[in-house]
Amino acid sequence: MSREQLEQQGAARTLRATTPTWVFGAKGVLAGELLRLLDLHPTLELRGAVSRSEQSVDSAHPHLQTGASTCSADEARAAIGAALRAGERPAVFLALPHGESCAAWSALRAELGALAEQLYLVDLAADYRLVDPARYRRAYGHAHPDADELPRFTYGLVEFHRAAIASARRVAAPGCFATALQLASVPAARGKLLDATRPWIFHGITGSSGSGAEPKPGTHHPWRHGNMWAYSFGGHRHEAELEQALEPAFGTHSGTPPLHFVAHSGPFARGIHLTCALPLAHKLKAEEVRSHYVAAFDGSPFVSVLELGRAPDLRSVAGSNRALVGLDVRGDVLTVLVTLDNMVKGGAGQALQCLNLMLGLPETAGLPRAGLGVC
């Protein structure tokens, strides 16, 4: 039997294995998207959808037909412990609001004891993304409540941390804007193409789904429709994730470049459109810059670097785990455009992509690569 046949046979055996899976925060928007993706996954078995509400999963998310009931956090922790003691390898997604993952993970660790080290955990919130507690304090305005755990989490942007994620047990999935910011600038930073003394300008627009499930004045449709406005223009918290990502390229002592990111709310539900103006360190042609991006994303099934002259759009990525990258050079400024679905590649899909690697599954398992197109 050839090596290729053996690898295919091994992959088939892996895909037949079942991983019991729990989702904490099941009523939220990202959890609803994650549950939709889990329904398509060949090996992940939903054992528990954890919510403080007694509302059923399908009632909270009418687009789903899981037939699943919600359970309490106490019930989930007991069931996860039983699965571990039975020799299974369970997985947990924390799809909770920012700030709530720490308490949930602390309670789960206390329940499981030493068994917690055998659990596969992916956090979709911001609680464990920043390794440095001081940076967390600057970004979020308070001390981290579980700082000792920060170094034990691997940052979950697969395109730049694939090997580390594959060997990890605990992963912090990046934020939606942070994902776009890094896909746009890290390849050029690693290639030493950019000037770190001049401002890096980022302009991002996000859909209303990024505001969560609870209605707010800014997400009310009559206000949102045909409207757009900036927010957090004194500094956005996802800049901290980009700073962290850039440190290996520039060094912790020299400091990262001055970042200037302004976020906007757009009149659509899904998607992020990011426009970047990045100062070049020396004169380069667009073809030379593009080659760095193509090399950076070689082997990444969900990131496409467009041909020069093409601009990415939202419709092509909405509903998919894909990100599109377009670029051009004008004088000494590199323009980079990125589009992605904030609910999928910027959220639930990214978390699932990480878990696939952690479990030794194909990175693409259960994840859509095609956008919705015209509809």
CA pseudo-torsion sign 302, 303, 307, 312: positive
Single pTM value for the model = 0.91
pLDDT of 85 reads 97
Judge whether residue 22 has pLDDT over 90: yes
Q: How far apart are CA 309 and CA 327, in angstroms?
A: 8
CA pseudo-torsion sign 121, 127, 130, 134: negative
pLDDT of 207 reads 82
Using CA atoms, how far residue 157 sits from 285, 288, 300, 365, in Å, is 28, 25, 11, 17
Using CA atoms, how far residue 67 sits from 23, 29, 48, 60, 141, in Å, is 15, 18, 12, 12, 41
Q: For 15-32, what is the mean pLDDT?
A: 87
Please name which of 98, 95, 97, 99 lies closest in space to residue 76, comparing C-alpha atoms: 95
Q: How far apart are CA 247 and CA 256, in angstroms?
A: 6
pLDDT of 12 reads 47
Q: Are 357 and 160 in contact (CB under 8 A)?
A: no
Residue-wise pLDDT tens digits, 100-120: 999 999 999 999 999 999 999
Residue-wise pLDDT tens digits, 177-195: 999 999 999 999 999 999 9
Top pLDDT among 266 and 223 is at: 266
Judge whether residue 278 has pLDDT over 50: yes
Domains of the chain as residue ranges with CATH? 3-173+347-358 (3.40.50.720), 177-340 (3.30.360.10)
Return mean pLDDT, the chain.
90
Query: Percent helix, strand, coil in the chain (nearest 5)?
Result: 40, 20, 40
pLDDT of 95 reads 96
Judge whether residue 279 has pLDDT over 80: yes
Judge whether residue 166 has pLDDT over 50: yes
**Count of Cβ atoms closer than 10 Å to residue 44 Cβ:** 23
Judge whether residue 147 has pLDDT over 60: yes
pLDDT of 24 reads 96
pLDDT of 7 reads 46
91-94, strands of its sheet edge to edge: 70-71, 44-50, 19-24, 91-94, 120-123, 170-172, 154-155
Q: How far apart are CA 275 and CA 41, in angstroms?
A: 33
Kind of pairing between the strands at 19-24 and 91-94: parallel
* 15 burial via Cβ count (<10 Å: 0-12, 13-18, 19+): middle
Instruction: Give SS3 for 192.
Output: coil
- Residue numbers annotated as active site: 176
Judge whether residue 340 has pLDDT over 50: yes
In single-letter form, the type of residue at position 76 comes to A
Judge whether residue 10 has pLDDT over 60: no
Residue 9 confidence class, pLDDT cut points 50, 70, 90? very low
Judge whether residue 15 has pLDDT over 80: no
Using CA atoms, how far residue 293 sits from 42, 190, 336, in Å, is 32, 10, 10
pLDDT of 217 reads 65
Highest mean pLDDT (candidates 210-214, 247-251, 256-260, 359-363): 359-363
**In the chain, how long is the greatest CA-to-CA distance?**
63
Residue-wise pLDDT tens digits, 287-332: 999 999 999 999 999 999 999 999 999 999 999 999 999 999 999 9
Percent of the chain at pLDDT > 70 equals 90
200-206, strands of its sheet edge to edge: 229-231, 259-265, 200-206, 272-279, 333-340, 323-330, 303-305
Q: Which of 3-7, 96-100, 296-300, 363-367 has the lowest mean pLDDT?
A: 3-7
pLDDT of 2 reads 46
Residue 228 confidence class, pLDDT cut points 50, 70, 90? confident
pLDDT of 233 reads 80
Whose structure tokens read 């034990």?
A: 152
Q: How far apart are CA 171 and CA 141, in angstroms?
A: 23
